[in-house]
Amino acid sequence: MSDLDAVLARVDADLDASLERLFALLRIPSVSTDPAFADQCVACADHLAADLKSIGFDAARRDTIGHPMVVAHGGPKPGSGAGPHVLFYGHYDVQPPDPLEKWESGPFEPRIVETPAGKRIVARGSSDDKGQLMTFIEAARAYMAVNGELPLPVTILLEGEEESGSKSIAPFFAANQAELTADVALVCDTGMWDADTPAITTRLRGVVHDEMFVTCPSRDLHSGMYGGAAMNPIRLLARIIASLHDDTGRVRIPGFYDGVSDLDAEIKAQWDGLDFDESEFLGDVGLSIPAGEKGRSVLELIWARPTAEINGIIGGYTGVGSKTVIPSMASAKVTFRLVGDQDPAKIVDNFRAYVRAQMPADCKVEFSPDGGGNAALQVALDSPHLAAARRALADEWKREAVLIGSGGSIPIVGDFKAKLGMDTLLIGFALDDDRIHSPNEKYNLKSFHRGIRSWVRIMDELAKG
């Protein structure tokens, strides 16, 4: 039996004990948003640090002004030649369990529920993210049990504020940059494509926001006395907003698509081959017509195309009934989702120039102070770490992993890139029906078991290089 097979056999043999350890973790109500549970968050961090020490990690609870982090180091010394140094990230805090009355059993009393589709682990945090982070820890435990060592240098970072704003992350990175910097980050907080198809999230859209305040008359006017003579800022603002997209859904701001590439042919073929029902995706929210650029699939639109979106608008009288006012001012909030190499600062500059160019000489526009923004993130298709993970997942699941995108931003991944210079592989085993953040959250036993095996294989492949 190869080393790898021995470790995988150990995972299989140890599954009941792995489950017991996960249950022990799930019994700690580490709700991060509610100060009443602050002690439980500390207890949870202590529990994890002790567990990691028991495996052989150099692990400690690391206090912050919020809930503590857990940081652990294990495996060969970084730079000793054994594989790339990986930073594994997960979070031990959970969403509040409310509404309690909708749970079929106590949210912090984990249990196995048998269903025709297989066994499920039911508890708050079973999927998000205690079940997922334990897949990696159990993989490391199996390696240590069989080989007495990990195949590559591993740093583990477990956060306790992911569900409540991650306020301590940025200062923690700043204070511990050298300790936390590795060759690649691994995050287990995402999903599979479906119950049989693994997925790696390799692209996240960036985001940048702005707000425009359009002023026409210097004060609110009576629409009878001035209507027809005075420009209405709502009319002007509407004209500007309407001009943001052309008839094909393309954003008309000059320079907007600088740095946006068409989809790689391999990725496009992979996405086109996915069992994704556009009608169902849109139908779930009452729609049927994709709103973005014509001629592109919905997956491409949300994963690989930029957007200009008005998130809020207000002007004039908005109470009950009518008021014959021409308001002085109207305003709108806008966000741009970014892909490829779009530069957030340049996007905002171009947007503002585009708006200013449409202002009549006697009206004015002001913008909110710059709020920063995140560029898009994309793991290069020729990344050796990505290649290793793809091989590993294909071996375990007997299916190619889908390289998916996420339309939203995941701040921690941006921080890994911006603050620690690392690419991230987002590999998780959750499923769409896991009901994370909702009552009766579950994690399939198969996700847990095969997730552990997947990390064993990923570490093995990364170590082989």
Task: Check binding of 399 to a copy of itself (CB under 8 A).
Answer: no
**What would the x/- binding string for a copy of itself be over residues 286 to 315, using CB under 8 A?**
xxxxxxxx----x--xx--xxx-xxxxxxx
| Binding residue for a copy of itself, selected from 222, 356, 437, 464, defined by CB under 8 A | 222
Q: Which is nearer to a copy of itself, 135 or 232 (CB)?
A: 232
Task: Check binding of 407 to a copy of itself (CB under 8 A).
Answer: yes
Task: Check binding of 317 to a copy of itself (CB under 8 A).
Answer: yes
Q: What is the CA angle 410-411-415, rounded to 5?
A: 125
Taking the complex as a whole, the smallest distance from the CB of residue 252 to a copy of itself amounts, in Å, to: 13
Tokens 């995140």 -> residue = 374
Compute the distance between CA of residue 306 and CA of residue 103 in angstroms, rounded to an integer: 39
CB under 8 A, 24+ apart: contacts of 57-63: 57/140, 57/154, 57/156, 59/156, 62/172, 62/176
Compute the distance between CA of residue 459 and CA of residue 221 in angstroms, rounded to an integer: 68
Which letter does DSSP use for residue 35 in this model?
A: G
Task: Check binding of 409 to a copy of itself (CB under 8 A).
Answer: yes
Q: Which is nearer to a copy of itself, 79 or 360 (CB)?
A: 360
| Binding residue for a copy of itself, selected from 239, 252, 399, 437, defined by CB under 8 A | 239
Tokens 């000793």 -> residue = 80
Subset of 188-207 contacting a copy of itself (CB under 8 A): 205, 207
Tokens 């001012």 -> residue = 329
Q: Which is nearer to a copy of itself, 207 or 425 (CB)?
A: 207
Q: Which is nearer to a copy of itself, 180 or 375 (CB)?
A: 375
Q: Which is nearer to a copy of itself, 326 or 459 (CB)?
A: 326
Total residue count of the chain as it appears in this document: 465
Rg (alpha carbons) of the chain, rounded to whole number: 25
Residue 161, C-beta contacts closer than 8 angstroms, at least 6 positions apart: 32, 64, 66, 67, 91, 93, 167, 168, 169
Helix (H, G, I), strand (E, B) or coil at 101: helix
Q: Return the exposure string of 213-244: e unless at least 16 CB atoms fall within 10 Å of the residue's CB, then b.
A: bbbbbeeebebeeeeeebebbbebbbebbeeb
Task: Check binding of 346 to a copy of itself (CB under 8 A).
Answer: no
CB under 8 A, 24+ apart: contacts of 279-286: none
Taking the complex as a whole, the smallest distance from the CB of residue 383 to a copy of itself amounts, in Å, to: 23
Any bridge partners for residue 35, and if so which?
A: none
| Binding residue for a copy of itself, selected from 118, 165, 171, 227, defined by CB under 8 A | 227
Subset of 360-389 contacting a copy of itself (CB under 8 A): 360-363, 371
Q: Which is nearer to a copy of itself, 111 or 296 (CB)?
A: 296
| Binding residue for a copy of itself, selected from 25, 59, 139, 330, defined by CB under 8 A | 330
Taking the complex as a whole, the smallest distance from the CB of residue 225 to a copy of itself amounts, in Å, to: 5
| Binding residue for a copy of itself, selected from 15, 274, 325, 420, defined by CB under 8 A | 325
Q: Which is nearer to a copy of itself, 251 or 425 (CB)?
A: 251
| Binding residue for a copy of itself, selected from 110, 327, 344, 414, defined by CB under 8 A | 327
